[in-house]
Amino acid sequence: MTANGEAAGGLGTGDGEALVALVGAPNAGKSVLFGRLTAEYADVSNYPGTTVETTAATVGSTRLTDTPGVHGISSFSEEERVTKEAVLEADAVVNVVDATKLDRDLFVTLQLLDMGVPTVVALNMMDELEADGVDVDVDALEAALGVPVVPTVAVTGSGVDELRDRLPEASAPASTPVDSYYDALPDAVEASRAEKTLLVEGDEPTARRVAARGLVADGGDAPLADAGAREAVYRERRSRVRSIVEAVEREAGPGRAAEQRLGDLLMRPMTGVPIAIGLLAAVFYVMGVVVAQRVVGYAEGVLFDRYYNPAVEAVVADLLPGGEWAAPVEFLLVNGNLGLLTITVQYVLGVLLPLVVAFYLAIGTLEDAGVLPRLAVLTDRGLSRIGLNGRAVVPLVVGVGCVTMAVISTRMVGSRRERLIATALLGLAIPCSAQIGVITGLLAGLGLAWWVGYLAVLLGVLGVAGVFLDRTLPGRAEPLIEQLPRLRVPRPGNVARKTANRSAAFLREAVPLFGATAAAVSTLDYVGALDAIVKGVRPLTAALGLPPSFGRVLVLGLIRRDFAAAGMTDMALSASQTFVGLIVVTLFVPCILTMAMILRERDARSALLVWVGSWVTAFTVGGAVAAALEVIA
């Protein structure tokens, strides 16, 4: 059974699994419901656009798919295409509607019903509807739509059982007002009702698909209705939405104003900027002082230095018999620079993991509270000068956690042009959490003035690079159209779960990569090739006033940025050398994982632009800073 027309009902009646898709507006609660219905976790955040790809899980005889949020079933963006495909494949849809935004969300509901897709409506966020002092007549809504409507509160699980029970009742009305437009399609188009509706609405991918089937009899003609049809259908649908909302919604009491006021405070520069600075300061206190210095300091200085490393060295020495082949193996496993079993483990578990966990906890809390998009509105003015809009705040902030992940989140930044700018800035001048930890540690030793200087240089580079890209790339910045999520109290369970998932993903990626890097670098080291490379880049390091051993840091930096920063901890450098070194390491090329992600999300040209640009920027800015420091001194 597919979503193809006739008034359909029942589910899973045929052989095999029934495909059910969760579909609805961004931030309506689809992913929370997905988690409730399947016991699998899909990323949940309190901002629109969290889900960008489908996630599926099987429960009993049903295969449930979580989809990216959309305001319509169409193909204007990548997310919409993904969701449209999921809808066309599905046997039935659970349409997740934010009860507090009926006028916005029922458009998709009616569109699904016009398409003849068997649907059950989950009327979610009922708790917030009540808090707003609004009442929705669920029975009247059900009657108006002609399909089951189940009130839910996804975060508490209320209504979820009923939703599951009523899934088999998924249906669509037998006829639709869009029927009358089907005549506008070329004769002899053989397509399902869902496809016909999309054709009337001018959906090109559907037209191509229908044409490719060879079902257009008179050849040549594109199986689309004329351009006016979409407008007419949309207008008619919006007016149906309005009359339904008028019929089912009524004021039931005073709404809450406190949340609104707090939200406004966050977005007004006078109050928002201090609040934002306070929040960032809190994050950096936790990251830079509590975790980077205390936790990491204890892990490195006590756990690894005193207990773990000596113990492993002793065991390896014991187990390896003497003999000439044993020496390189022992070097590989336990050498003091990057031993596979000692220093590498120490870097990953003792340094990076605590920082990464702390960072994800902090960012997860902000994500859940709905603070990030308000920061977006706040920073929109500044960012629009560098060719971006405020939505780029989220990728840039996520980038401070992990640039690789941030590259994925640039999908929410709008046009290709903005994505490229955001990606380039991320690759260039945003240090990742793993690196920040080490950087914070090194700068803390130098004093506050150096910290401020470091931030100033980075912001300067971000600004100049942004303005440069903005001026040189074709096109222009898009205005911010942001659906603000509500402010919500973060849910500790969700934050913990998300942190655990992200940290596990970090380990899965970092461990093999670190292992391979450490083995490769140790091998180069053992055979003396590392020294040769280090000699080769000596002119560069000398130009920066850095010792030759900094070349080793650069080699590490080609693979992982945090690796490079960590490599600096063991060098004897003066304050200004440390400063210049950190600037270079921060601006230097993105790690291998980020490069792979840029290739996946953008293209080879963008990747090359970022990589080469990083080399040039790192050494130009590093050189300039070194020269300036010399003048001052």
Binding annotation for GTP: 24-31, 49-53, 66-69, 124-127
263 binds ligand GTP (CB under 6 A): no
Task: Report d(CA 400, CA 442) in Å as an integer.
Answer: 17
Nearer Cβ to ligand GTP (122/348):
122
Task: Report d(CA 97, CA 79) in Å as an integer.
Answer: 18
Let me know: does 42 contact 156? Beta carbons within 8 Å. no
For residue 128, the partner it binds in ligand GTP, Mg ion, none, with Cβ less than 5 to 8 A by kind, is: ligand GTP
Nearer Cβ to Mg ion (202/395):
395
For residue 91, the partner it binds in ligand GTP, Mg ion, none, with Cβ less than 5 to 8 A by kind, is: none
Please choose, out of 29-37, 139-147, 236-244, 324-332, the segment that lies near ligand GTP by the rule CB under 6 A.
29-37
Structure token pair of residue 328: 């390189």
Out of 123, 153, 229, 403, name the contact with ligand GTP by CB under 6 A.
153
Strand arrangement of the beta sheet that strand 119-124 belongs to: 55-59, 62-66, 18-24, 92-98, 119-124, 149-151
424 binds ligand GTP (CB under 6 A): no
Please choose, out of 1-9, 44-52, 171-179, 352-360, the segment that lies near Mg ion by the rule CB under 5 A.
44-52
Out of 31, 100, 499, 586, name the contact with Mg ion by CB under 5 A.
31
50 binds Mg ion (CB under 5 A): yes
Instruction: Work out how close the CB of 93 gets to ligand GTP at its nearest, in angstroms, rounded to a whole number.
Output: 14
Q: If DSSP codes are grouped into helix, strand and coil, which group holds residue 375? A: helix
For residue 488, the partner it binds in ligand GTP, Mg ion, none, with Cβ less than 5 to 8 A by kind, is: ligand GTP
171 binds ligand GTP (CB under 6 A): no
Give the residue carrying structure tokens 């200087």.
Answer: 453
Q: If DSSP codes are grouped into helix, strand and coil, which group holds residue 603? A: coil
Out of 5, 12, 48, 551, name the contact with ligand GTP by CB under 6 A.
48
Pairing of strands 134-136, 249-251: antiparallel
Let me know: does 136 contact 248? Beta carbons within 8 Å. yes
49 binds ligand GTP (CB under 6 A): yes
389 binds ligand GTP (CB under 6 A): no
128 binds ligand GTP (CB under 6 A): yes
Query: What residue number has its CB nearest to ligand GTP?
Result: 69
Closest by CA to 562, choosing from 393, 341, 400, 360, is 400
Residue 198: exposed, middle, or buried by beta-carbon count in 10 A (0-12, 13-18, 19+)?
A: buried
Please choose, out of 51-59, 94-102, 429-437, 621-629, the segment that lies near Mg ion by the rule CB under 5 A.
51-59
Binding-site annotation: residue ranges for Mg(2+) = 38
Interaction residues for ligand GTP, span 367-386 (CB under 6 A): 368
27 binds ligand GTP (CB under 6 A): yes
Residue 301: exposed, middle, or buried by beta-carbon count in 10 A (0-12, 13-18, 19+)?
A: exposed
Nearer Cβ to Mg ion (41/331):
41
124 binds ligand GTP (CB under 6 A): yes
Closest by CA to 207, choosing from 217, 196, 218, is 196
Per-residue H/E/C for 408-442: HHHHHHCCHHHHHHHHHHHHHHCCCHHHHHHHHHH
Please list, in sequence order, all residues whose beta carbon lies within 8 angstroms of the beta carbon of residue 129, skipping any fewer than 6 positions away: 99, 100, 135, 136
Interface residue list for Mg ion (CB under 5 A): 30-31, 50-51
Interface residue list for ligand GTP (CB under 6 A): 26-32, 44-46, 48-51, 68-69, 124-125, 127-128, 153-155, 368, 488, 491
